[in-house]
């Protein structure tokens, strides 16, 4: 089948969305199924067929999606009902809609280069590097936690324990350093 001339092609729109929580990179195929399920469950098969949703790329914590031109608003609504991908809870935050993938890639590069302006240490001593950290000596409340992602002021941690190993969404101000104020008996 020959490629249609530009005037006869269907017009598309490309949607850039950030993947929350940070540090999760879902498989594009799994994400496509999740997005398609969200569209179909909200608008039905007819609207999904007209919308033609698809996932083009997952890169640097963002995802580039595609839909037919004119359906981007409904597509964004359907994306806001997405709450997980293969048992992994996540949310897609729509950042931009464009007519070309290239401009969205530029936007991703811009986002990656930009740091959180308020990503200061505050009252607690932070590890020097952001991103994935080793299990450390922090606690939240009375429970010790393992830091898994450190992104500016945002900290994602795992509760330590056999039963409750849920992911906690915290900030640097929520964390305390274990034994930070311990004074030896000799003093």
Partner 1 sequence: MKITDACVFPFPAGDSSVRRFALEARSLGYDSIVAVDITAGTISGVDIIPGMILGGIPAKDVQGRAKKNRGTGTVLSVQVGDNGFNRAVAGTSGVHILRGIATADKLAFDHVAAKIAADNSTALDIDLSPLIFGRGHLRQKAIHRYLDLMVLHRRFEFPLTISSSACSVLGLRAVREAAGLCSLFGMDESDVQEGFAGVSRVIGSNKETVRVV
Give me the residues that bind partner 1 (CB under 8 A), please: 20-21, 41-42, 73, 76-77, 80-81, 83, 89-91, 93-94, 118, 140, 153-154, 166-171, 173-174
As measured in angstroms, the least distance from the Cβ of 6 to partner 1 is 31
Paired sense of beta strands 62-68 and 12-20, if any: antiparallel
- Secondary structure E strands in the chain: 12-20, 54-59, 62-68, 84-85, 88-89, 91-98, 138-140, 143-151, 154-159, 167-171, 175-177
Smaller CB separation from partner 1, 56 or 151 = 151
Smaller CB separation from partner 1, 81 or 102 = 81
As measured in angstroms, the least distance from the Cβ of 114 to partner 1 is 13
As measured in angstroms, the least distance from the Cβ of 89 to partner 1 is 5
Between CA 83 and CA 89, with CA 85 as vertex, the angle to 5 degrees is 50
Count how many Cα atoms sit within 13 Å of the Cα of residue 114 in the half-sphere of its side chain: 9
- The secondary structure of the chain in percent helix, strand, coil, rounded to multiples of 5, reads 30, 35, 40
Smaller CB separation from partner 1, 59 or 173 = 173
Smaller CB separation from partner 1, 104 or 168 = 168
Smaller CB separation from partner 1, 142 or 182 = 142
As measured in angstroms, the least distance from the Cβ of 135 to partner 1 is 19
Smaller CB separation from partner 1, 102 or 178 = 178
Residue 95 near residue 14, CB atoms below 8 Å: no
Is the dihedral angle over the CA atoms 60, 92, 31, 9 positive or is it negative? negative
As measured in angstroms, the least distance from the Cβ of 41 to partner 1 is 5
**Does the N-terminal peptide bond of residue 162 adopt cis geometry, omega within 30 degrees of 0?**
no
As measured in angstroms, the least distance from the Cβ of 18 to partner 1 is 10
């Amino acid at each position: 089948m020959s490629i249609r001339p530009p005037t006869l092609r269907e017009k598309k729109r490309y949607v850039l969305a950030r993947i929350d929580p940070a540090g999760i990179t879902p498989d594009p195929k799994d994400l496509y199924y999740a997005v398609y399920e969200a569209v179909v469950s909200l608008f039905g098969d007819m609207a999904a067929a007209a919308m033609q949703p698809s996932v083009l790329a997952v890169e640097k914590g963002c995802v580039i999606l595609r839909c037919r031109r004119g359906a981007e608003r409904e597509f964004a609504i359907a994306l806001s009902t997405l709450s997980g991908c293969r048992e992994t809870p996540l949310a897609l935050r729509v950042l931009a809609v464009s007519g070309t993938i290239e401009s969205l890639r530029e936007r991703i590069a811009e986002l990656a280069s930009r740091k959180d302006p308020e990503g200061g240490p505050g009252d607690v001593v932070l590890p020097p590097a952001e991103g994935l950290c080793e299990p450390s000596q922090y606690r939240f409340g009375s429970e010790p936690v393992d830091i898994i992602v450190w992104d500016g002021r945002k900290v994602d941690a795992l509760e330590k324990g056999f039963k409750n190993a849920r992911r906690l969404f915290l900030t640097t101000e929520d964390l305390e350093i274990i034994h930070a104020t311990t004074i030896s008996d000799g003093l």
